[in-house]
Amino acid sequence: MSRINELGSAPLKPYLEKLKGLKACAMYSNTVIDKSPCGLKTLWPLVAEWQRIDVKVFFDWSVEVDPHEPTRYALNLMQDGITLPDPVWYYSESPDAKSKLKGLRDVIVKVFKLTGEDSRDAEYDADSVIRLETSMAKLFKDAAHERTHQQTSFSLSSIDALAPNLDLPSVLKALAGDLAPKLQSTPVLVRNPDYFKGLNKLLVDTPASHLRAYMLFRMAFILGADMGDEWLDIGQQLQKVVVGQEHRVPRWYKCFHSVNNALPDYVGKVFVQRYFSFDTLNAARDMLDRMRDEFQEELMSVPWMDDVTKSKATYKLADLFFSIGFPPKWADYSGLDLSGDFVQDGDRLYKWYIHHAFERLSRKVDRERWGTTSPAMVDAFYSYDKNGIFVPAGMLQKPFFDTDYRAARNYGGIGTILGHEMTHGFDDQGRKFNPQGRLEGWWTTPDVKAFESRAGCVRDLYSSFKLNGRSVSGELTLGENIADIGGVRLAYKAFAKLMREKEGSGQPSTTDKQLFFVSQAQNWCTKGRKKAENLQLLTDPHAPDRFRVNGPLSQISEFQQAFGCPAGSLMAPKDRCRVW
């Protein structure tokens, strides 16, 4: 820790040197860069360099499974490069948004001062960054759009035609290095083409000084997160503005998460050896198998789905695979040199990941590849384009699961989470992917209408929930809400059947019923800061945690029976929503 503080801002020096060319352009102050002696050609090598060290400027990129052809990989380009998490905060006239924008400006000024600028230049450059990020933010689509709108596929040449001033091919080729020839045959997926069209015009009309300030700030602020206390204090200042966090997280906590995110298989292997057993793996697989059996019965008996769609849906469910605990093959880090300071090691690591990402473009998709998901992660997820559920060992721990817990507690805890992931394969987005993970219309038109009617009930239900005087977005959270309700129902049916097999009784005991639902509620027992909750309402596809309890449980008749809720009360409404 003392070594990191001793270095201060020194780790930024190599990157400040790279900005000298753009700084020369910025001497022409308010001259737009395209009319300066430099031109936009000066910018793109720097954009590639920044992307190479995980500094997102103007956009983000990844290598992902192609949803149109899930046996291959594709490049994915995304809107990115602004600092505040909600783009509306840049241009809204509300007092809250103006306060957050002012808070961001104060942070930017401090960043420039730490890089060596005097107060006058820091103030000027901060205004330049705010202007540019505000212009970019106005091009962003909201979180609901990003969740539901499918990507458009381009070739490398057509993406250049979409936004010729951005010179995206040269940036992507620079990132790919010696693997660049493969890009000629690689699809490029874009969810918001209008963003890149708008950016194409915006940057031509932007002063060189604004671009230089933006590039410097984004680099220093992002890399500063891995530097000394004075830099961490700046990050904490922004966290207070955005989510109300009063104190910095402990350095050990930050270091652990940095290593876990950077070397997931290294940390994950140690975690699995210490805290995971084959008894746990087998118990989780048995729960998933039981819930799949219940879902198959559900699909076959659904009255609103015709036989053709039912047949394809049951096949998709049968083809669903489970990857539990850890990946089938651990990553090989033997070629990775981590011998510098913390920032330099982070740069080397990200460049290593970039090389391996572009290497995947030449391979067929491995359905069971975990990628950067750590086995120590406390989460689980369903992959639309692989039709698989991934359950890290970190998720199969107390309080969600333990081999010594009663079945009611395990099924109410981890069981409802696993059922949630299984239901994602048939939520408002998952239903659009066929059994092989291909995005295509495999439902009949009447079945689509019937599904949308039932999903509309869920949308309206959650839109009626309020937190801090603000409504939940039933549209933004629709997929997760369908999965929450379906997950509780699946887990309960599997649990009840298990009790009948073990005890021969018709129903679980009242105690076990109540324990099941209390365990589900415990999954989402949290206390949030008001600012963080308000941000979640704007950007998170999950409903606030209290509604992940009251929402699903109010739609399950077994909850009403377990706790004797009066008919027509909040948790026992007359009309309930049911998709699955």
Instruction: Give residue-wise pLDDT tens across range 91-124.
Output: 999 999 999 999 999 999 999 999 999 999 999 9
Phi and psi angles of residue 37, each rounded to the nearest 5 degrees, phi first: -60, -20
pLDDT tens, position by position, 363-397: 999 999 999 999 999 999 999 999 999 999 999 99
Q: How confident is the model at residue 36, as a pLDDT? A: 57
Mean pLDDT within 275-280? 97
Angle at 210 between CA 208 and CA 213, to 5 degrees: 110
Mean pLDDT within 459-471? 97
Give the residue extent of every domain in the chain.
2-248, 264-328+368-563
Q: How confident is the model at residue 42, as a pLDDT? A: 85
Q: How confident is the model at residue 503, as a pLDDT? A: 77
Nearest-angstrom CA–CA distance, 65 and 384: 10
- State the first-to-last Cα distance of the chain, in angstroms, to the nearest integer: 52
pLDDT at 442 over 60: yes
Nearest-angstrom CA–CA distance, 219 and 82: 12
Query: Residue 311: which pLDDT band, with cuts at 50, 70 and 90?
Result: very high
Residue 252: which residues within 8 A CB-CB, separation 6 or more?
Answer: none
The residue among 378, 381, 372 whose CA lies nearest residue 479 is: 381
Please say whether the beta carbons of 358 and 73 come within 8 A.
no
Per this entry, what is the length of the chain?
Answer: 580
Q: Return the residue matching tokens 């027509």.
A: 568
Mean pLDDT within 30-45? 71
For residue 90, give the DSSP letter: G
Q: How confident is the model at residue 35, as a pLDDT? A: 60
For the chain, what percent of residues have pLDDT higher than 90? Answer: 85
Mean of the per-residue pLDDT values for the chain?
94
pLDDT at 28 over 60: no
Mean pLDDT within 151-174? 95
For residue 413, give the DSSP letter: I
pLDDT tens, position by position, 411-436: 999 999 999 999 999 999 999 999 99
> Hey, is 5 helix, strand or coil?
helix
H or E element: which one contains 563?
helix 557-563
The residue among 315, 324, 323 whose CA lies nearest residue 295 is: 315
Q: How confident is the model at residue 554, as a pLDDT? A: 98
Please say whether the beta carbons of 494 and 411 come within 8 A.
yes
pLDDT tens, position by position, 326-345: 999 999 998 888 877 788 88
Nearest-angstrom CA–CA distance, 343 and 340: 8
For residue 230, give the DSSP letter: H
Nearest-angstrom CA–CA distance, 209 and 217: 12
pLDDT tens, position by position, 516-531: 999 999 999 999 999 9
Query: Residue 400: which pLDDT band, with cuts at 50, 70 and 90?
Result: very high
Q: Which CATH architecture has domain 2-248?
A: Orthogonal Bundle (1.10)
Least confident of 135-139, 145-149, 187-191, 467-471: 145-149
Mean pLDDT within 53-82? 96
Q: How confident is the model at residue 484, as a pLDDT? A: 99
Q: How far is CA 46 from CA 34, 59, 163, 216, 479, in A?
A: 16, 13, 18, 10, 38
The residue among 395, 389, 364, 416 whose CA lies nearest residue 520 is: 416
pLDDT tens, position by position, 344-370: 888 889 999 999 999 999 999 999 999
Angle at 363 between CA 359 and CA 57, to 5 degrees: 40
pLDDT at 41 over 90: no
Nearest-angstrom CA–CA distance, 414 and 409: 8
Nearest-angstrom CA–CA distance, 343 and 15: 11
pLDDT at 222 over 80: yes
Nearest-angstrom CA–CA distance, 242 and 100: 7
Nearest-angstrom CA–CA distance, 568 and 108: 53
CATH fold of 264-328+368-563? Collagenase (Catalytic Domain) (3.40.390)
The residue among 137, 86, 133, 149 whose CA lies nearest residue 538 is: 86
Rg (CA), the chain: 26
pLDDT at 37 over 60: no
